[in-house]
Amino acid sequence: MTKEKQQRRPVARSQGGLTMWNGMNISGLWRLMRSRPSIHWSRLHKFLPLPMTATFNSGMGALESLVYGKAIARTELTDPPLIVLGFWRSGTTLLQNLLSHDPQFGHLGLYQALFPWHFLLTETVAKKLTAPFVPKARPMDNMKVSWDAPQEDDIATAIMSQVSPYMFLSRPHDLQRFWKDLDFDSIPTSDLERYKTCLVHLLKKMTYKSQKRIMLKSPFHTFHVKTLLELFPDAKFIYIHRNPYHVIRSGCHLRRRMIEENTLGKPVFKNVEDEIIGTYQFAFERYEQDRDLIPNGNLHELCYENLEANPIKELGLAYETLELEGSTHLKQALLPELASLRRYKKNEFQDDPALVSRTYEELKSAFDRFGYPEPGTLSATVDTTKVAA
């Protein structure tokens, strides 16, 4: 290992005041309070502004409805969305960022994700006034951040519907809260319908704003392919996978950073490794169960390691499988970005032999399914010939 790698540590920086709690309206804050979130005096600077921000969001949301409500209601989602699937830390953000360079796609920006109730009304002015206060990179890695940076739609739907595994950040000691919203088969019908309504409303707003085909990305969607197909039967999907050990190792870091930055109470890190491995197993099993529901030609599976090595080639293959036009435009847009992609520095972690062994033993089916090598040869290139069609 080089001296540079020995000295580098996983990134741990502040995200400032950018939390999803600040985007909730009054009804959303009421649901949050009814769930009895953990609150601690050391986090009062995160909690005390919420009544004021909720009132602002409700007021601006009502005003936006008056101005744009009828136009949004008339907006039709004529082009089925392109949806990025994959577990957290599998490369979904890299894939989303690359796809966002294709001019045919509209994506959800950070401001829109954090303020979904009124971005049509407030975005232009608010972004100009607040841009200097936006952190330059994410709290868990070196991925750049700006108000326009592509963002997970699950943040917006969590703010709007409070149906999301991210809601567990308000009660990090209550792991049942995290698991509850992962399985749509077990949540109340009213919660599921509220989530669907909010997602469709969000896509209509995005479509009204850009008049482009929508590209969505959220690891949350990997658990809910069936629901997405009910809403968007002709949707196209790209599923990205990565060596499960690297996913688990990085996922543990992500879990801790998300709790540290977003909880309103004391940070609690309960059974982090157990939870990340268990969640990955559930995600893998649910995807394997549901992927056959996707019509032929509407799903492409993509290897993160190959995408990182040759993004233009791998995206070209995805466009070919999904019969998407515009691969030439995307290639032209990505060529100037290749140098910065090569300079990007990923988090460096010390290998944990016990975690290596445990990950392989418990997730061997995923290693085999995607053609990744056994522990001890983790640096080897994935054997894509072993990946099932």
How do the domains of the chain map onto residue ranges?
17-345
Q: How far apart are CA 87 and CA 222, in angstroms?
A: 7
Look up residue 74 and give its two tokens. 């008339």
Structural contact between residues 247 and 284, judged by C-beta atoms closer than 8 angstroms: no
Q: pTM (2 decimals)?
A: 0.88
| DSSP-assigned letters across all residues of 221-260 | GGG-HHHHHHH-TT-EEEEEE--HHHHHHHHHHHHHHHHH
17-345: CATH superfamily: P-loop containing nucleotide triphosphate hydrolases (3.40.50.300)
pLDDT surpassing 80 at residue 344: no
pLDDT surpassing 50 at residue 54: yes
pLDDT tens digits, 235-287: 999 999 999 999 999 999 899 988 988 899 988 888 889 999 999 999 999 99
Average pLDDT of the segment spanning 97-124: 94
Look up residue 186 and give its two tokens. 């077990």
pLDDT surpassing 50 at residue 53: yes
Residue 218's CB is within 10 A of a number of other CB atoms, namely 26
Buried-exposed string 62-87: b where 16+ CB fall within 10 A, e elsewhere = eebbeebeeebeebeeebebbbbbbb
Structural contact between residues 47 and 15, judged by C-beta atoms closer than 8 angstroms: no
